[in-house]
Structure formats: C-alpha cells, structure tokens
Structure 1
Amino acid sequence: MITAITIKIIAGFIALMVVIRFIGKKELAEVTPFDFVFIVILGGTLEEGVYDEKVRVWDVLYTIGLWTALYLLTDFLVRNFERLRPIIKGEPSFLVNNGLLDIKELKKNKIESEQLRSLLRMQGVFSISEVKYVLLEPGGQISILKKNSSDEDTGGVLTHLLIDEGQIEERILAQIGKDKQWIIHQLKEEGYEDINKIYYAEWSEENGLYVQTYD
C-alpha cells in the first residue's frame, strides 16, 4: 500500500506541475472564483485518489488530465467568445460610479455599506466621499480612483478596455455609449487602418486612445 501511495503522489505531483505550466502564471490576486473552484476540486480529486486502494495511478492521471482539459477548453471559449466571459469568469462591477453609490450593484453583489467601508479602509480610504470610482473585481478585490487626484498620484484616470487580444469589446463599448463603428473611426483617425493588427486598445475621456499593435 505504501508503494502504491508513493507512486500516486509522485505521478500526481508531476501531473500538477505540467498542469501549472499549461495554465500559466497567475498571482493570487488574479485568481477568479472559477479558477479557485478548479484548484480546489483538482486538489480534492488528487487527495481522494491517493488514499483509495481501488483507485489506480492511471485513474488519478486520467482525472487530472480530463479536469484540466475541461478547464483549458472553458478558458479558450472565454477568450474567443466575448459573451461567455461575464457568465463564466465574471466582470468588474461599479460599486461607486462618478462619486455615487450604485445601490443596484451593491445589492447584486450582496455587499452592505459597512462591508464596502471596510474594504475601502484596507486601502487607506476612510470615507466614500473621497472616491470617484470603486470597482469590484471578479476575484473579490476592489480598485479605487480617488476624487481630485492628479495623474502623478494615481497613475492615471478611469480607462475602458475596447480591444482585447485583437477583439473589439462591444459590450464595453455599449456601456460607455459607443459602438463598433465609433472605435473603428477613432482608430483610423489615429492612423490605424488595419484593425486586425491591433492587440490592445484602451480609451478614456481625458486622454483618448492608447493603442498597442501586434508588431
């Protein structure tokens, strides 16, 4: 039995190392609820398989491989089909929008006012009146932009990701009252005739477009 457990642990360890290489590097702060569930179930599956004599090492490897394949398939679909992204991995929510609490978003995300105040205090903000925007990230963290802050203090202004990995984010365009033709026109005015060459583009009211091409 000791030998079987040892083989399973070694095989599982190697398999997990391969899985990590496939998934890529992520900081803990970047892990979404979807990623967290994947990790927990993967660890639980390995733990159950190691100490169950009826489970062979090939069963453990098959389970890890299949679960990882499903994760990678889902990640591929999220990357290539914009409509699936908010459903599977979530999207940022404005808890404070232009200095005003968004009560609808607070209720939707089940966050009470005191919880929001606690999250702000962790970032050195002791009054909601100090912030212009507060975003709840998919991983549960908050990002803030203070009122009357200069670019030097905060690193910039609120920007909107309009092109991500070569794909136009029509959902975000709709949120800011723009459409696909608008971004194409803006890019052409900046000298970008071939949209397919653009990898990343963000936009803000204050600073306009920032564009990065594949080249």
Structure 2
Amino acid sequence: MLQDMFHLSLPLLEKIIRPVLVYFALILLLRLFGKRELAQLNPFDLVLLLMLSNTVQNAVIGNDNSLAGGIVGAVALLSANFALNRLLFHFPKLDRSLQGSQTVLVQDGEVDKRAMQREMLTLEELIQVIHRQNITGMQDVKLCVLEPNGTFYVESTEDSVPRQRHDEVMQQLSALQQEIAKLRTPGQKPGVPSGA
C-alpha cells in the first residue's frame, strides 16, 4: 500500500514539466481573454474557472495519482510561480506587458462605452460594482478603473452621498470627543469617578 502511494508511474522530469507548462499556458490564456475572467463578476465566470481547473487536471497529473506524484506536481507549480514572481519583480516592464494595463471605465460620471465593450462588461455589472462601494449613481463616480488583476478601483466625487455621510460622522465624532473632554474634570483619569 505504501509503495503504491509513493511510486511515481510517470518519470520525475515529466511530473515536473507537465504542471509548469499548464501553469504558463493558463497565464497566457487568461491574459489573452482579458481581465474580466479574473474579476469573477458573474456565476458564468465562476463556473468557467471551476471547469477550467477540472479540464487541465489530467494534463497536470497525467496517469499518476500517487501521493508522491501530487507532491512533485505541487512543488513544481509553486516553484514556477515563485520564479515568475521573482522575474517580474526584477523586470517591471515585463510585468506590465504580461499583466496588461488598467482600463478606465468611468471618469467624472461619464461611462467609456468602448472600454466597456473591450472588457465585455455590461452597464448592469458596472452598476453592481459601483453599488458595492456604497455609491448611489454614476454621477457620483469620479473614477472607476479595472485593474490588470481584475479588481476595481472606484473613487467617488467630493460631493457624493457616501463622502458627505463620512464627513458628517467625522464631525459628530469630533463633537462627541469635545463634549467628553468638557465633562472630565482637570486631573481626573478617564473612566474613574470623581469620588473614587
């Protein structure tokens, strides 16, 4: 039994090369198909990513289901990822070319329809992203950017409702702090009654 768990049915070099090749192929494919696949905006994208992992499983492990084979494959994947991250850290231009650039979707309340089409985003999906940031409408968006890693950066305008609420809360906190300071007698420690 232990022999079956640790016996590699494929050559060691093949067990290393398979996951590394699939890793780089997936990186290339995700880069070609756009940032939307990384953003996971809807259930279809999630299903796609789950099926994608299942589809490439046999390409990664081959006919080897042994424990040793899985460990070798995992080490190969982690090593490839580590090496790529180190390479991209030392060569920022290569990093930018592999990851792509950010896409401005909204600027000063105006939606860039061409950018939306390029990224295959619907207006409804964009509105969901904006609402997740507690921004009520497009007119309150100063800037909305889709980053290369699939995340959204959203900045509200100065006079947006969430920013106004934030300012009001901060003013109320400041007023409370002043009231608390007035209630304390000089030299009294916070939380200690005056008769103690």
TM tier, smaller: 0.3 to 0.5
Provide the TM-score with structure 2 as the length reference.
Answer: 0.47
State the structure with more CA Rg.
Answer: 2
The structure with the greater share of residues assigned to helix is 2
**Greater RCO between the two (CA within 8 Å, min separation 6)?**
2
